[in-house]
A and B are shown apart, each in its own frame.
Chain A
Amino acid sequence: MSENLLETLSVLILLSSFVLMANKRISSYIKSFRIQSLLIALAAGVMGVRSLLDEGRWDIMIVCILIVVLKVIYIPGLLNRTYASVRYKVEKDFILNIPILVLVCCGLVVFSYFTLATIDGSSQGMSNMQLVNSVSVIWIGLFFMISRKKALGQIIGFLVIENGLYITAMLATQGMPFIVDLGIFIDLVTFVLIMGMLTFRMNDQFDSIDTDQLNNLKG
């Protein structure tokens, strides 16, 4: 039962990154990121309940609550506040049109399937499927980051990469040591705070957060 739920959730997480790639507006990037984090929290919750019932371990449940607090509530809220305080002229900030971007993402999933199909130890079946899906989320996050010009889009891309790494680690190891999880979370919060601050500064200096304009600084 929990295996079935986990595999469905891993497909939904992959799908949510496709939805993110197909979004046009920064407010919908933040919404999609929030949904993806909620799905990851659900996956952590499923694993947490299982480990609680089987081994009596509480740590994955705590991680699940931390994901909800940080990635579903705090970070999207912070990004929303940054977004509200930044002036925008034009919202369209992607380099290719949406269908092509999304089709390239399909190619990325095929790519990660072919790279992971031959790994020893990842047997056929469920675990392999979850691994391919979550590694694809990393690739799609990276591609999202390079396909968007505005700083906020790139922050979301980084957060998606991080989500992908996190879900890969969680599904592959069935729960990492608690201290590693905490370390990742603290890193993440620091990153988001610094990037938010930098975005504010960029907006002050250039009246825009389009990172293409940073090219003007070259001598």
Chain B
Amino acid sequence: MKDCTPGRIGNEAMNSIAYIIIQLIVTLLAAPLVGGLIKKVKALTQKRKGAPVLQMYFDLYKLLQKTSVVSEVSSWIYKAAPYIVFATALAGALLVPVSTKIVPVLIPGDFIMLVSILALGRFFMMAAALDTASTFGGMGSSREAMISSLIEPSILVALFTVGLLSGSTSLPRMMQTVQVTGFPLAHPVYMMVGLALLIIIIAETSRIPVDDPSTHLELTMVHEAMILEYSGRHLALLEYGAAVKQLVFITLFVNLFIPHDQLIPFMGFGAVILSLLLYLLKVVLMAVVIALIEVNTVKFKLFSIPNLAALSFILAFLGILQFFILGGYHV
């Protein structure tokens, strides 16, 4: 982007900008859908009719119409946190390509950056929950701090393993390597890392064994306790940010472990559309899988969460160990 006069922008830069826009639109539009799908599948397994799949869009629209009430003892952190959380979720979404046909070359960055960006958002969310000195906020942020510090090592180890296999820490490169691997989940290293990432997704997106997203019960809530004080526009941004973050993790999983782009032989605009449709199909599948896991497990008590975190760390660690035992050769 050295030369910004119209008509002089290179074809590649134009493509990148188009890809960034496509990426943002897909992520923003699809993110609330995932939550709706998970709720719908859960309702159907319980023989209920459930809320419509698009319920979260209506909720966000309604919340955006309302004014937000801000406590007068709160500081700037309280007002800035929703924007920061939403912005970090969006930045995370830009780092994880929704499809390897769409890789914005303008954005450098790798998974370490992704993890740190999401950690920044989480930090501000915890700080904001402490800010108004409500009892639930403090409780929620202390729980969140515990869970995130337990889960973070396994994210890093799991992604490092895939990075070692592909020889690069950049997420698009990792996904492009997986495209030629065949069926990755049959490979021992990928299998371990995939299982670890599944646990990480569940813990990071506040799903049932770790946190119950649908209740406001004092004993169980973690994420909900932190955003209990918010209302109106701020609440909408926080909910939307959480949905985008959930989609980021699901995208990471499906694109690393269920590659689809080798099915599309031709290049060009049609390939991009087809690739995006396949991507959405995979996200829907993953949402159904997460819903089924959620239906079939019970909420763990808080002090059992270290066991789950240890399990995901061990899976990731065994993955990296199998990589070294295999002699570090590329699949």
Residue numbers of A with Cβ under 8 A of B are 4, 7-8, 10-11, 14-15, 18, 22, 98-99, 102-103, 105-106, 109-110, 113, 124-126, 128-129, 132-133
Contacts and interface: CB of A to CB of B under 8 A. Distances in A.
Interface in B276-331: 306-307, 309-311, 314-315, 317-318, 321-322, 324-327, 329
Interface residues of B, number: 21
Contact of A11 (B311, B318, B324): B318
Contacts, number: 58
Given A103-B314, A106-B317, A106-B318, 7 more contacts: A4-B186, A8-B188, A11-B192, A22-B311, A102-B314, A128-B325, A132-B325
Q: Which 10 A-B pairs have the closest CB atoms?
A: A99-B310, A124-B327, A11-B188, A129-B325, A132-B325, A99-B306, A102-B310, A106-B317, A98-B307, A7-B188
B322 A11 contact: yes
B327 A15 contact: no
Interface of B: 186-188, 191-192, 306-307, 309-311, 314-315, 317-318, 321-322, 324-327, 329
Contacts of A126: 326
A109 B192 CA distance: 15
A109 B318 contact: yes
A4 B185 CA distance: 12
A105 B313 CA distance: 12
| Interface hub of B191, B307, B321, B329 (most chain A Cβ within 10 A) | B321
A98 B188 contact: no
Consensus secondary structure, chain A interface: helix
Contacts of A18: 314, 318
Contacts of A105: 314
A199 to B, nearest CB: 28
A147 B214 CA distance: 39
Given A4-B186, A22-B307, A102-B314, A113 B329 contact: no
Contacts of A129: 188, 322, 325-326
Contacts of B310: 22, 98-99, 102-103
A99 B329 CA distance: 31
Nearest to B319: A11
A8 B191 contact: yes
A22 B304 CA distance: 11
B305 to A, nearest CB: 10
24 contacts: A7-B188, A8-B186, A8-B187, A8-B191, A10-B188, A11-B188, A11-B192, A11-B318, A15-B192, A98-B307, A102-B310, A102-B314, A103-B314, A105-B314, A106-B314, A106-B317, A109-B321, A113-B321, A124-B326, A124-B327, A128-B325, A129-B322, A129-B325, A132-B325
B325 A113 contact: yes
Contacts of B321: 106, 109-110, 113
Nearest to A131: B325
Contacts of A103: 310, 314
